[in-house]
Structure 1
């Protein structure tokens, strides 16, 4: 009887060993990954793209179940600094070519993926209540007006200064126009969203923003604009590309392709941009 029990124990051990051996021979290549495996990409997004890219990210996620698009939104100059200091991301969408060119020269971009994808223009935004009684570009130089502008480093601030230089060169406004307008600047902001926010709460009478900021659905009934004629205006060129340190360049490129697609272009137009 004892011998029988011993045989049963040995048989059980042999069967367990066989199971372990089979399990040990199974490799990760034998496991088929899920078609909806979760993944995530981070898109460094210029502040003026906030509304459009928030909708763009949601639309892309709807078409790609299991993929999350994380937006890192700030002024382009701040985003560039983050990348140069080691921040990781997958896509960089810039509000000008200057900062993108610097990232490409510094080896932070997959340069062959970078190209322009939309255009924008500068405008003067003001609350619909028009507290400063501003009705034309000349009024920006009237003493006492409260005007907002971006810092020289942020794209919208650089573009605004180019506009002022062009206007000052026209006798209609005079060489002192820029100085007079700058005397009315109450704050220089590090991204265009700060300018919009201060206009909405009544901290200023007017601000240099993008056309897209005024026509975006979120603010269309709260802000109005004084257009800047083409002869003074500046066309803002926005490039986009894959960051060198991307952990998922394939998905990053696919997202960029979606931005450039028909549905992506419609989203951009809704927010006042001119897709290329």
Structure 2
């Protein structure tokens, strides 16, 4: 065999090895799998139930901006999301409806950033048949009131504002998240319920919202953070960062959320 042919064969072997190495560094979807260094991936986002509508809109905008990234959302009460994280559920990003829940997961998350705030309102049936004017009206024993459970952020906020006014309310049920509270009012199974302003805005055809004055209200903060067990840390970090971008903030404002 000639020296030239030998050199050509050696070069071919090296090129083939390099190609195989490059393919091994990629997943089936073509995204890099080495230490989560790629900024494109299939991300699972655990998010508070009150973010259901706005995050679907935000997610579509993000995927359009970054075609290589696909977002899958899992919505539930923040306490349920925390339990999933502690149990090791595979996910990349966590967004809760309170800082307390997020702070309890410091060992499992990166640095959290508050991306939005929210306020409480009283959701009542369309036309306000019970003529409820404020928090005091919820104390009437003839009024069927539903609240979120105490361990749910909105349930904790609700009890805080009631306690501050020395108002005693005996809820007919305690729900696992804010959307379940709103649903009870929508279906006529309750006369009133305390929910976030943004949730009430999604059901204006079946419910009305009674404003709670600022000096009687509570402010809910929404922190977002990456999960340390994420297999796509760079892509997860990019999404969390984007949630504070002008584009994402405009989507949140349009849905009724307030500035961080």
TM-score by length of 2: 0.85
- CA contact 1:36–1:65 (8 Å) conserved in 2: no
| Structure-2 separation of matches of 1:275 and 1:90 | 24
Secondary structure at 1:209's aligned position in 2? strand
CA change 1:100–1:47 in 2 (3 A) is: same
How far has the Cα of 1:21 moved from its partner? 5.0
Secondary structure at 1:60's aligned position in 2? helix
Secondary structure at 1:231's aligned position in 2? helix
CA change 1:23–1:102 in 2 (3 A) is: same
1:234 has 2:237 as partner: no
- CA contact 2:135–2:162 (8 Å) conserved in 1: no
Secondary structure at 1:122's aligned position in 2? strand
Match of 2:180 in 1: 194
| Structure-1 separation of matches of 2:134 and 2:151 | 27
Q: CA RMSD in A?
A: 2.7
| Structure-2 separation of matches of 1:263 and 1:196 | 28
| Structure-2 separation of matches of 1:26 and 1:79 | 43
* Cα deviations by residue, 1:175-224 (Å, 9 ceiling, x for unpaired): xx31xx22xx1110010011111211111111010111122xx3233321
1:28 has 2:14 as partner: no
1:79 has 2:63 as partner: no
Secondary structure at 2:117's aligned position in 1? strand
Pairs aligned (count): 245
How far has the Cα of 1:122 moved from its partner? 1.3
- CA contact 1:150–1:156 (8 Å) conserved in 2: yes
Secondary structure at 1:72's aligned position in 2? strand
Q: Which has the higher helix share?
A: 1
1:148 has 2:140 as partner: no
TM-score by length of 1: 0.81
What does 1:97-112 correspond to in 2, within 5 Å? 97-104=99-106, 107-110=107-110
**Alignment counterpart, residue 65 of structure 1, candidates 64, 67, 72:** 67
- Unmatched 5+ residue regions in structure 2? 32-39
| Structure-1 separation of matches of 2:17 and 2:117 | 57
Secondary structure at 1:103's aligned position in 2? coil
CA change 1:30–1:231 in 2 (3 A) is: closer
- CA contact 1:125–1:214 (8 Å) conserved in 2: yes
- Unmatched 5+ residue regions in structure 1? 1-13, 169-176
